[in-house]
A and B are shown apart, each in its own frame.
Chain A
Amino acid sequence: MAQADEKAGSVSAAPAGAGRGLDWFNLFVANIQTGFGPFIAVYLSGVGWTQTAIGLALGIGTVSSMASQIPAGALVDIIPDKTRVAAFSVLTFTASALLLAIHPIPLFVYLAEILHGVSSCTLGPATAALSLLLVGRFAMGLRLGRNARYAAIGNGMGAALMGACGQYVSERAVFYLTAALTLPALFALLPLRRLNQADARSDARPPTLPQAGRGSWRLLADRRLLVFCACAMLFTFANAPLLMLISGTLTAHGSNPSLLIAACIVLPQIIVALASPAAGRLAERHGRRIVLIAGFSMLPLRCLVFAATRDPAILVATQALDGIAGAAFGVMLPLIVTDVAGGTRHFNLSLGAVGFGVGIGSTLSTPAAGWMADHVGTRAAFFALAAVGALAVALTVFVMPETRPQPAGGPDEATGSGS
């Protein structure tokens, strides 16, 4: 098979430049997503929005993305041309960034939030599907490692760019910048255009895969997927509020809080960029569980350090552990779903389902952790999150099965570990 002589994620059967295109695409999409983060709240309060109205707008965004995770996954499954899905999602980002920038009245802001929430849900699965088309199941770990690397670079760059833009130009300009960055993302998709045609013939491949014939509900009830979903939910639950909690501490005690918080955001991205390819390689060579366990273990460790100290330098340095966890989780999530559902007709649906679990984890956790921090203290909140993180580790150690496809599953078993 073609993948046998591939080097880490580069392509032989797929169109030339497609691998590079996907790299850049991941980078620019991550750039764009930075603009849609918590910065929206800053921008809206700057144009006179009340806190209630902002909360409502962000809530609409959360609800629409949660509600569309699974349907969007199913939708991507039935659309053959994944490149188009990706391009269309990016164009929707352009529209929502422009809506926010040009005229932030409630209707447009809500619309932008909804458009962004929905198209994020189609974009993630589409990117994973393109990766799968590009390299096939047996080099997926390496490819996903690369995706995560470029996404991390994009995130870090995006935070720096948009931070500078908000500080020195204007807050509105951040959204024009976001809209502008969708153009290079579209360009990056150009080499991937022919991927679907190129792969049309290899679409005949699924029969070699074990789960090809399964129905969607049976697939979603797959024990591996369910256990992983639970692990992912617990991990996200414990992970998501940490940045908020420590940046609150930094704002209260650091000497230059904004810079320190920026460091807390960018440092993990640097580590993810460095560690993701290794995580993908490790997963192909030694299995998914070991990477997952190593990544998840960073989380309770981090919580305990945060509970123990308020020293800004240590807080920032500990964020490096977040990079390791982020690299492991970011690569393993699509990889494990690929193991379970790759090559079936329900790959994107499964991704959406796991995404839904992760979304629930992160949506519930921030208010929960905030409540704990207010009522029983930040330190207690860190301990509670450490316990949840430890539960994720325990679940992975004792319940989560290994999902790496067995050599019998395909003729080129050694592929992944070959490089």
Chain B
Amino acid sequence: MNALQVTRLAAAVCAWALVAGCAGLVSRQEPPPASTAPPVETPAVDAGDSSPADSDPQAAISHEVGTPDPVMVPCIIPPTPKTKVKPRAKAVSAEPPPSQSETPAVPGNRPAGLVDARVQQMPVSVMSILGKRVQSPTGEDLGRVVDVLADDAGRVRVAIIDFGGFLGVGARRIAVDWPLLRFEPNGKEPSLELGLTREQLQKAPEYKDNPRPQTLAEPQAPAPGASDAKQ
């Protein structure tokens, strides 16, 4: 009995010591539940949160770059050349949220890099990508998306698919060109389709955290900066 308490105590102490240690080391992110992305955007734009899981909705916005919608926000464009204007999705709810202490009036007193942001509703459905299963057009299971790579303009270029294996043993990560993915965020079970077969994925080279990875891409439209690779 006494001995049991000793064990229990020791285990608890070890566990909590380690938890505390790790918690200190790590800036944490919460993985979103597998549900569809919430339509409401968080007010704080650059909270410094680098978690791709969290920044999904924001990422989705900043990727449709190039066509800045009628921007009625007099926000400063951050001096960094790679960032473009955040296209404010057509403001459905125009009232500024009360939490926003900074009114968009004085651009001058805002530190560089900060933009004005408001809570708005996404005009279209969006979906969570990380962890989503990917199917071929014929319904084969091709694995799941485990990472998403963007270029210096913030455009998503590559999806990393975790392919194959059994109980986590022997899975390979394959880089595929983003346009090969087809999205269906509107169904009650949002799904991802990849226009490839198992054989094609099987033959592709494994992704090894290379900044210029070899990706599977359609030959006629080779993505600049990423060579299409077929063995």
Contacts and interface: CB of A to CB of B under 8 A. Distances in A.
Interface of A: 34, 37-42, 44-51, 53, 56, 60, 63-64, 67-68, 71, 75, 78-81, 84-85, 88, 92, 104-107, 110-111, 114-115, 118-119, 122, 159, 162-163, 166, 243-244, 246-248, 250-253, 257-259, 261-262, 265, 374
Given A48-B34, A118-B15, A257-B170, 18 more contacts: A38-B168, A41-B168, A42-B167, A42-B168, A44-B31, A45-B146, A47-B31, A48-B33, A49-B53, A60-B22, A68-B14, A78-B3, A79-B7, A84-B3, A111-B15, A159-B167, A251-B171, A251-B202
Contact of A88 (B7, B31, B32, B146): B7
Given A46-B131, A250-B170, A258-B166, A114 B6 contact: no
B18 A60 contact: yes
Given A75-B10, A92-B11, A258 B26 contact: no
B10 A48 contact: no
Nearest to A60: B22
B178 to A, nearest CB: 18
14 contacts: A38-B169, A48-B31, A48-B33, A50-B130, A79-B6, A81-B4, A88-B8, A110-B19, A159-B166, A247-B169, A251-B172, A252-B172, A252-B206, A261-B166
A356 B100 CA distance: 54
Given A40-B168, A261-B165, A48 B128 contact: yes
Nearest to A266: B166
A105 B162 CA distance: 21
A34 B166 CA distance: 12
B15 A265 contact: no
A106 B29 contact: yes
Nearest to A41: B168
Interface string B126-137: 001011010000
A247 B11 contact: no
Contacts of A67: 14, 18
Interface in B103-157: 128, 130-131, 133, 144, 146-147
Contacts of B26: 56, 106
A166 B9 CA distance: 35
A163 B172 contact: no
Rank and list the top 6 A-B pairs by shortest CB-CB distance, nearest first.
A247-B170, A38-B168, A251-B164, A79-B3, A261-B166, A48-B131
B3 A50 contact: no
Contacts of B34: 46-48
Interface residues of B, number: 46
Contact of B7 (A48, A50, A75): A75
Given A60-B22, A64-B14, A118-B15, A251 B163 contact: yes
Contacts of A81: 3-4
Contact of A47 (B15, B131, B169): B131
A251 B167 contact: no
Nearest to A44: B31
Given A118-B15, A122-B7, A105 B206 contact: no
A248 B172 contact: yes
Contacts of B51: 50
Contacts of A84: 3-4, 7
A246 B30 CA distance: 34
A35 B14 CA distance: 23
B167 A38 contact: yes
Interface in B1-56: 3-4, 6-8, 10-11, 14-15, 18-19, 22-23, 26, 28-34, 51-53
Contact of B19 (A114, A251, A261, A374): A114
Interface in B170-228: 170-172, 202-203, 206, 208
A157 to B, nearest CB: 13
A399 B168 CA distance: 38
A48 B32 contact: yes
